[in-house]
């Protein structure tokens, strides 16, 4: 019935005619659309949610330890009981001790990253610590002299 040589116009005409025929034959309801009513009632045929029945497998006095574990698991799921694990873990170390350790920690790790010049200075420091305090004032300017930039003399 579909001929190859058919012009596009005649094709369109044919299609339109087909549609007309079909739409007349199509049945439809004259009734206006019913509103979908959302009901707030759910029908349930089982007793379990109504009466909050517990899980049917039970064991007592350690007869079957796996089932006892299961009992605790299932019944706590149903009742959503307590025992929310504490979010904060109890600190093993007190805050003060933490602060102290941190201070010294910074020093020791800081030394690792010092440049060679500074490391030598530090070593002198350690040696000089044993020296009397009186000489401290003498020693300090010399260190300063070392650190300061010496302008090249023309």
Partner 1 sequence: MAAERGFAAEACVGQVVLPGDLLLLPASYGEDAEGERLRLSAGAAPAGRLLCGPGLRRSGAGLLVTKCGLLRHRPAGGGAYWVDSQQKRYVPVKGDHVIGIVTAKAGDVFKLDVGGSEPASLSYLAFEGATKRNRPNVQVGDLIYGQFLVANKDMEPEMVCIDSSGKSSGMGIIGQDGFLFKVSLGLIRKLLAPKSEIIQELSQLYPFELVLGMNGRIWVKAKTVQQTLVIVNILEACEYMTAEQRRQALAKLSGN
Task: Please identify, using beta-carbon distances, which residue of 58 and 139 lies nearer to partner 1.
Answer: 58
Taking the complex as a whole, how short is the minimal distance between the CB of residue 38 and partner 1, in angstroms? 7
Q: Which of 1, 7, 29, 35 binds partner 1 (CB under 8 A)?
A: 35
Sign of CA pseudo-dihedral 112, 118, 124, 126: negative
Interaction with partner 1 in 89-148: which residues (CB under 8 A)? none
Q: Applying CB under 8 A, which part among 8-16, 63-71, 111-119, 130-138 lies near partner 1?
A: 63-71
**Residue for token digits 């009992």?**
71
Helices (H), 91-135: 95-112, 116-130
Site size toward partner 1, by CB under 8 A:
35
User: Burial, 28: exposed, middle or buried (Cβ in 10 Å; 0-12, 13-18, 19+)?
Assistant: exposed
For the chain, the distance separating the N- and C-terminal CA atoms, rounded to the nearest angstrom, is 111
Query: Does residue 37 interact with partner 1 by CB under 8 A?
Result: yes
Taking the complex as a whole, how short is the minimal distance between the CB of residue 73 and partner 1, in angstroms? 8
Taking the complex as a whole, how short is the minimal distance between the CB of residue 61 and partner 1, in angstroms? 3
30 to 27, 33, 34, 144: CA distances (angstroms): 10, 9, 12, 104
Query: Does residue 58 interact with partner 1 by CB under 8 A?
Result: yes
Query: Does residue 47 interact with partner 1 by CB under 8 A?
Result: yes
């Amino acid at each position: 019935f579909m001929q190859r040589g058919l012009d596009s116009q005649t094709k369109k005409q044919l299609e339109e005619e087909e549609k007309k025929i079909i739409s007349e034959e199509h049945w439809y309801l004259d009734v206006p659309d019913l509103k979908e009513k959302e009901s707030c009632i759910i029908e349930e045929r089982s007793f379990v949610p109504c009466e909050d029945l517990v899980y049917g497998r039970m064991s007592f006095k350690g007869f079957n330890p796996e089932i006892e574990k299961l009992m605790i698991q299932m019944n706590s799921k149903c009742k959503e009981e307590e025992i929310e694990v504490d979010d904060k873990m109890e600190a093993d170390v007190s805050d003060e001790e933490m602060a102290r350790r941190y201070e010294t920690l910074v020093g020791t790790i800081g030394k690792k990253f010092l440049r060679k010049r500074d490391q030598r200075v530090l070593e002198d420091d350690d040696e000089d610590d044993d020296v009397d305090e009186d000489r401290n004032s003498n020693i300090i300017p010399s260190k300063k002299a070392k650190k300061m930039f010496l302008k090249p003399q023309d």
